[in-house]
Structure 1
């Protein structure tokens, strides 16, 4: 089982609009509402690929109950930890003619130290059945910036490899938890390690404790700096659509490769193909199998 942790769970709302007028009234074509947050998106992709998953995280208030209901309706097993403050909502506005998407993220609830301690105890219990854990997304208010480092270190102490996908201070702290994989994108990496090339930045994070660092670089593919060497995945063409959730599909591919002990070249190829196939779908947590099948064999690994 792969455990996904989303401390800042959300109810994701996606508007598909046939042409956005930012100065006027817009008629929404389709609306999608579903449980979200990066870990939930990862779990959806893994479940679609036939892998056993368990979603955990912090959920509170009416929005938290809506999140839990959607997970149950979607058939995604969950073990959420209840908090007092209402969970957040995110809004993605997708302009269909241009293929551009704007994302609006609420900051999330205020979490007390007691709630975080309670969640951590529950997390330790859930690790007993996990083959790997994915720690991803933003942190809600009240959660310290080194939370992912702490959770990754707990997992490592129990022999469970962790993947961390974070930004800002949580990314800078994460290597101290000795995760198996850190997955920043190029902009996140540049903020965490200013100056130098992506390879140099990734190597710097490895030097701080991460076993491997995989950098997603959009249309330029992936860069992986690992203990086995440095690898790149070059995309054969650009897939147009909604990029929201592409990184989460990529992380799902990395998690599969981790638990299956797939060699890095094939691990990167599958992850890159899943990320590209996610762009072709309207909502996060899904991927287009036809795009995946077409692009996967064409990705060049060096």
Structure 2
């Protein structure tokens, strides 16, 4: 996926680092009427300056935090040298600004769109953390959440006790066998050639089924199927809470050794993640 960066006037892939010049015409139809759209931080900064030309804006994202720039931007905002701190999720990480009385979250629906059973939990944690960023010294404060789906149950639970959120999520976790009622082990395979990757991932699924050490889901391509030149596939192993995990680890290590012996220099790299 290529993202347009106005500062450099280039298209950049945030996953592999590939960069190229913005084409003068569409490579598919040949049209020259190209229009940039989206809600990236650069675009939001432009809109803020258009509607509020007198406010001072600091932007905090991967394009502005090279070297020690991150600390410098945070320090500048703490000193009151800007009225608005605009950024990606990195602005939520452990920052304390006593003067902040308004927090805005743009397109909060994107937090729930991930292929991850924990997406709702992580969205809840992030939004509650953001709510705590405003009004630190007892000042009256507000949080504004932009969403196309205001009926989403998560938003109505943000001001409720944590137990209310847990009571909603845990029954589904129990029903479908996810933590804290199961342990998960992800087996991820990486290879530059997708055909070899698919063959070896199918081999892993067959071997794990024969071992009968738990429920097997997959293989499927990862949420980001290709990263830095490597295609990625994954399998998910579900285990009961009470399970001899030491023996499972030894079994997976032996299976990985057999995998590398079988495929040799053509082997996919195998990575294990416990409770991903």
Per the normalisation by structure 2, the TM-score is 0.26
- RCO higher in structure (CA 8 A, sep ≥6): 1
Per the normalisation by structure 1, the TM-score is 0.24
Larger radius of gyration: 2
